Amino acid sequence: MGVFTGRTALVTGASRGIGRGIAERLGRDGARVAVHYGRNEAAAKETVAAIEEAGGSAFTIGVELGRPGDAEALWEEFDRHADGLDILVNNAGIGTSAPFGEIDEEEYDRVFAVNVKAPHFITQQGASRLRDGGRVVNISSGLARNAVMPEKMAYAMTKAALDVFTRDLSKVLGPRGITVNTVAPGIVDTDVNADWLRAGDEARAGAAAISALGRVGTPGDVADVVAFLASEAGRWVTGSWVDATGGSLK
């Protein structure tokens, strides 16, 4: 039996990349996983299929975040499949890249709506469904503490806000035995980064050189950290910001 057998998990943005890696890891270890997606239903179904092929159980939830009523719609869909939650992973997010003087208000508002507002209200409305002793893991970014890409300033600001959310929420949910933590990945080999990571050996070598471990991260690297925090072994860790950059902040 897996360490999460009998538990239900929700992973937002789980149709691809880091979110898919987390969903598959939790499913492989016994959790029943709600695989959230925004637009790519086919990719979400692939995640579900991978979990089921490994002997796990999963279902999809399709709600586009960053719109009024998104949290309500997400939980309405969740309630059709499950009657409670043990693990919530706020992974869904969008990026933006523009020089300081060029980002416009519409883009700025959009990235904050998806990366900050959505996880806040998803968690707020999900708290009544989250069982005592549960887990909340927020996926941030090493860029929240490392100013190496100023063109991603707005994105980094959203992740810094998520880090504050983690610290304060840990105090709110702590009396119920619910832990709340942040995991901050560095450069990870996903389709979001595919264009430049796979542009050539020089680009990949440059990305790998940023890490103390000399390689680019994988979704599995991040998923393993999340799985620890979501497990009983992580019961005494809360309100923490966990560096999962492979040492790129050092």
- Catalytic center residues: 155
Task: Answer whether 177's CB lies under 8 Å from 132's CB.
Answer: yes
- Pairing relationship of beta strands 57-62 and 85-90 according to DSSP bridges: unpaired
* Token pair for 7: 């538990």
DSSP H or E run through 89:
strand 85-90
DSSP string spanning 60-76? EEE--SSSTTHHHHHHH
Task: Look at the alpha carbons of 200, 39, 154, 218 in this order and tell me if their dihedral is positive or negative.
Answer: negative
How far out from the chain centre does Cα 237 lie?
Answer: 18
- What is residue 192's three-state secondary structure? coil
Alpha carbon of 233 to those of 42, 140, 225: distances in Å? Answer: 34, 22, 11
